[in-house]
Amino acid sequence: MQVKKYLLKCLHRLQKGPGYTYKELLVWYCDNTNTHGPKRIICEGPKKKAMWFVLTLLFASIVFWQWGVFIRTYLSWEVSVSLSVGFKTMDFPAVTICNASPFQYSKVRHLLKDLDQLMEAVLERIVASEPAHANATKALNFTIWNHTPLVLIDERNPHHPVVLDLFADHHNDSASSSPAPRRTCNAQECKVAMRLCCLNGTVCTFRNFTSATQAVTEWYTLQATNIFSQVPTQELVKMGYPGEQLILACLFGAEPCSYRNFTSLFHPDYGNCYTFNWGMTEKALPSANPGVEFGLKLILDLGQEDYVPFLTSTAGARLLLHEQRSYPFVKDEGIYAMSGTETSIGVLVDKLERKGKPYSQCTANGSDVPIQNLYRDHNTTYSIQACIRSCFQDHMIHNCSCGHYLYPLPPGEKYCNSHDFPDWVYCYSELRRSLGQRETCIRMCKESCNDTQYKMTISMADWPSEASEDWIFHVLSQERDQSTNITLSRKGIVKLNIYFQEFNYRTIEESAANNIVWLLSNLGGQFGFWMGGSVLCLIEFAEIAIDFLWITVIKLVAFSKSLRQRRAQARYAGPPPTVAELVEAHTNFAFQPDTAPHGPKPGAYPDEQTLPIPGTPPPNYDSLRLQPLDVIESDSEGDPI
C-alpha cells in the first residue's frame, strides 16, 4: 500500500509539471536554464530574439561539431611513446651459438654420396667448355635429378628462349627440353634455372637465377633437405658437432664454465646449437657489473676442415642474444663471428611495452592468436616469429599434404620428401612466392606486448696474434686432443667476448594519447567556451528531454482514450438509454424500450394538437462521478515527495 501511495504521488507531481504543452515547456526551460543564450530569446524584443536565436543555434552547432571531433579522436585509440632510462643490475641475456655447418661431413658422407657426385657433374657441365664424356655420367644416380633438374636457358633471342637440359644427351626425361651436347653460349647468354614440375611433369615452371652459384647452392640445399627429412632427429643430432668439441673454453665473470652449462638444441639450418643461460631449468644469471671482465668469454673450435663442401659456403660461428625462455631464431636474427678473430660484443638493453586492446592488437602470451604454436614443445614463450613460421607450416600441410623440414611438425604429419610427395617442391615454391599467404599469416599473427631487444656493438681483431699463436695453439691442442702437436689452426678458432656496455637500460613504453580525462576536459571546455554551460546544464537538458517524453506519453494516452470512447459511441444508433430505461429493463423482462426516434418528425403533429410531455430526466448521482486525483488525496496529506 505504501508503494502504491508513493507511486500515485509521483504521478501527481509529474502531472503538475512545468506545462502541459511543448510551448509552455520550452518557455519554462529558457526562463530557468543556467545556459547563456536561451534566456535572452524570451526576454528581448523581436529583433533581438531572432538574433539570439541564431547565435544560440550557431554556437550549439559548433559545440556539437567539436564534440564529434573529440569523441572520434578518442575512439581512434592513439598512443604516445615515452622513453625512460633506468639503471639497475640486469639478468645476463641468453646466448645461443651454432656452427655454420650443420653436420660433420665425415658423418653424413654416406647420405650425400649420390648427391655430391651429381653436383660435381652439374658443375662440370656448367663450368667446362666441353661436355663430359658419356662414361662419366653413366654411373650417376638420376633419381634425384628427375624430380628437380637444373637447366640452361639460352636467352640470345629474348622472344624465343631455348631450354637446354644439362644431361639431355645422356638422360632425356622431357620432350620440351632440347639436347645440349655442346656449349654454344657463354655465361652471359645462358642462365641456369631450376625446373619445377607437378602432376607427372604436365605442369612446369622455372625458377631463374642471376648467377650459377646461387642456382647450384639452392638446388643442393633443396635436395639435401629432401634427404635429411627422412632421417630421424636423434640420428641427425649424432651427425652434428658435439658440445665438448665445439666449446673449448668458457668463462662467465670470474667463474669457469663448460659445455655442460649449455642447453643443447637441434636447429635444422645449423644442426646442434647450444644456449647459455636459457633459464629453462635454472634461474637466470645476473651480471655483476658492466664491462668485458664481467661478461661471457668463449673459445670455439669450428672444425672447418670437416664442413659439408656443397651445403655450407660460410665459415664461422652463428650466435644470437635473446630473452630467457624464448626460442632462438638464429638464421633470421643471429650474426656471424668470423674465424681467426676475437669478436667483442657490447650489449645495450631496450625494453618495449606496448598497450593492449583496444590500442593495438598485441598479445600477452599468444593465447588469443588463432594459430597453433608449433614451438610450444620447447616450452618457450610466444613470439611473432614463431607464429609466422607455424602459420607457414600450417599452409604447407594444407596445400602440399606434408610439412617442410625447416619447421616443427604438428602431431600426425610427415615431412616432405620426393619419394612420398613427388610434387612437394613445386608446391613449396608456389607457396613461398605467394603474397596472399604472407599477408594472411601477418594478419593473423600478433606482436608480443612485452619484448626485450639487445642492441649490439661489435668489434673484431685478429686472434691469436702471430707472436702468440704458437703457444696458444699448443695449449688448446693439448687440452682438446692430449697431443703435443698442434692440431688446431687459425681457420677454425673463434674467440667471443659478450658483455654489458653499461647497466643503463631504455624502456620504450606506449601510453594512451587521449584518455577519459582528456576527453571530458575538452568536451567541458568547448561547452563552457561557446555556451557558458556546465554539467548542471546538461542535467537540465536531460530533465527537459524527460519532460518532453512525458508530455508525449500523456498526449498518446489521451488520444488512445478518446479513440476508445468514439468507438464505443459508434455502437449505438441513437442516444444512450436513460437510467430509468435501464432499471425498467432489469426488473421487467417484458419491457421493450421505445425504439421510435426521439426527435419529432416534421408533420407528425398537427398544429392543433398538443406536443407530448417529455419524461422525467434521470437523477443526478454524484456518487457515481469519478473524482480527480487531487481530490482523492491532496498534496498536503501523507509524506512529502
- The answer to whether 35 and 537 are in contact (CB under 8 A) is yes
Long-range contacts from 417-426, C-beta under 8 angstroms, 24+ separation? 417/226, 417/229, 417/230, 418/144, 418/147, 418/148, 418/226, 419/230, 422/147, 422/198, 423/197, 423/198, 423/199, 424/400, 425/147, 425/148, 425/196, 425/222, 425/226, 426/196, 426/197, 426/198, 426/203, 426/205
Amino acid letter, residue 615: G
Burial of 482 (0-12, 13-18, 19+ CB in 10 A): exposed
Query: Nearest to residue 328, comparing CAs of 274, 250, 365?
Result: 274
Name the amino acid, one letter, at 87. F
Q: Measured between alpha carbons, how far is residue 337 from residues 103, 209, 291, 341 in Å?
A: 18, 28, 20, 8
- What's the pLDDT band for 494 if we cut at 50, 70, 90? very high
Question: Taking 70 as the threshold, does the pLDDT of residue 253 lie above it?
Answer: yes
pLDDT > 50? residue 76:
yes
State yes or no: pLDDT of 641 exceeds 80.
no
pLDDT digits (tens, 9 = 90+) for 112-128: 999 999 999 888 888 76
What was the pLDDT predicted at 266?
94
The three-state DSSP-derived secondary structure of 92-158 is CCEEEEEECCCCCHHHHCCCCHHHHHHHHHHHHHHHCCCCCCHHHHHCCCCHHHHHCCEEEEECCCC
Q: What is the C-alpha separation between 350 and 352, in angstroms, rounded?
A: 6
List, in sequence order, every residue forming a beta bridge with 174; answer none if it has no partner: none
What gap in Å lies between CA 131 and CA 166, rounded to an integer? 9
636 band by pLDDT with thresholds 50, 70 and 90: very low
> Of 9, 27, 14, 8, nearest to 546 (Cα)?
14
* pLDDT for residue 180: 44
Q: Among the listed ranges 409-418, 428-437, 545-554, which one has the minimum average pLDDT value?
A: 545-554
Is pLDDT of 12 > 80?
no
Quote the pLDDT of residue 575: 64
pLDDT at 537: 82
pLDDT score at 613: 53
Chain segment 174-209, per-residue pLDDT in tens = 434 444 444 456 656 688 889 888 888 788 888 888
Interatomic CA distance for residues 56 and 35, integer angstroms: 10
Q: Which DSSP string do the residues of 476-536 spell out, in sequence order?
A: HHHHHH--SS----GGGEEEEEEEEEEEEEEEEEEEESS-HHHHHHHHHHHHHHHH---HH
CB 240 within 8 A of CB 247: no
Instruction: Answer with the residue of higher pLDDT: 256 or 184.
Output: 256
- What separation in angstroms does the CA of 250 have from each of 133, 290, 299, 436, 582? 53, 18, 7, 47, 118
Q: What is the Cα–Cα distance from 429 to 296, expressed in whole angstroms?
A: 41
Q: Which of 339, 274, 269 is nearest to 311 (CA)?
A: 269
Place of cell 601510453: 511
Mean of all residue pLDDT scores within the chain: 82
Instruction: Report how many helices (DSSP H) and strands (DSSP E) the chain contains, helices first.
Output: 20, 16
For residue 521, the tally of other CB atoms under 10 A from its CB is 12
Q: Say how many Å lie between the first and final Cα of the chain, rounded.
A: 16
CA–CA gap between residue 502 and residue 316 (Å, rounded):
28
Q: What is the DSSP letter of 448?
A: B
In 3D space, the residue among 151, 269, 162 whose CA is nearest the CA of residue 209 turns out to be: 151
The string of pLDDT tens digits covering residues 145-180 is 888 888 888 877 777 888 888 776 554 444 344 444
Question: What's the pLDDT score for residue 495?
Answer: 95
Q: Are 458 and 431 in contact (CB under 8 A)?
A: no
In angstroms, rounded to a whole number, what is the distance separating the alpha carbons of residues 181 and 165? 9
**What is the pLDDT at residue 179?**
45
Give the helix/strand (H/E) hosting 638: none
Nearest-10 Cα torsion for 179, 181, 186, 187: 70
- Beta-ladder partners of 497: 297, 344
Sorted by sequence, the CB contacts under 8 Å of residue 375 that are 6+ apart come out as 327, 386, 389, 390, 408
Mean pLDDT of the region 309-318:
92
Residue 89: the pLDDT is 83
519-573 confidence digits (pLDDT tens): 989 998 888 888 888 888 888 888 888 888 888 887 888 888 888 888 877 765 5
Which cell is 553 given?
506519453
How far apart, in whole angstroms, are the C-alpha atoms of residue 281 and residue 261? 11
* Bridge partner list, 267: 271
What's CA 479's distance to the chain center, in Å?
A: 51
Amino acid, single-letter form, for residue 199: L
Integer angstrom CA distances of residue 386 from 84, 95, 369, 405, 411: 29, 18, 12, 15, 17
What is residue 639's DSSP assignment?
S
Q: How many CA atoms lie within 13 A of 272 on its CB side?
A: 21
CA distances from 206 to 148, 192, 633 (A): 10, 10, 98
Point out which residues pair with 345 in neighbouring strands.
458, 498
